[in-house]
Amino acid sequence: MNSIKGYISIREASCKLGVSERRVNQYCVQGRIPGLTRFGHSWAITEDAEKP
């Protein structure tokens, strides 16, 4: 995924939140991360997202 200003990828979020990429994806699907946006098949997570 190309960088979008103010957003991070699932991979970057997993490092920041200290959980696996799979867990971040589950959070996204469940809508548990505020400010979440979907671009095609990719999720864009706000840079200031906190662990749900």
In a domain, 2, yes or no: no
For the chain, the domain total comes to: 1
- Provide the pLDDT for residue 4: 79
The answer as to whether 52 is a domain residue is no
Q: What is the pTM of this model?
A: 0.82
CA separation for the pair 27, 22 (Å, rounded): 9
In a domain, 34, yes or no: yes
> Closest Cα to residue 51, out of 28, 4, 39?
28
pLDDT per position as a tens digit, 28-41: 999 999 989 888 88
Sheet hosting strand 37-39, strand order edge to edge: 7-8, 42-46, 37-39
pLDDT of 50 reads: 87
12 in any annotated domain: yes
Q: What does the pLDDT look like over 10-28, one tens digit per residue?
A: 999 999 999 999 999 999 9
Q: Which domain holds residue 28?
A: 7-46
Provide the pLDDT for residue 1.
Answer: 52
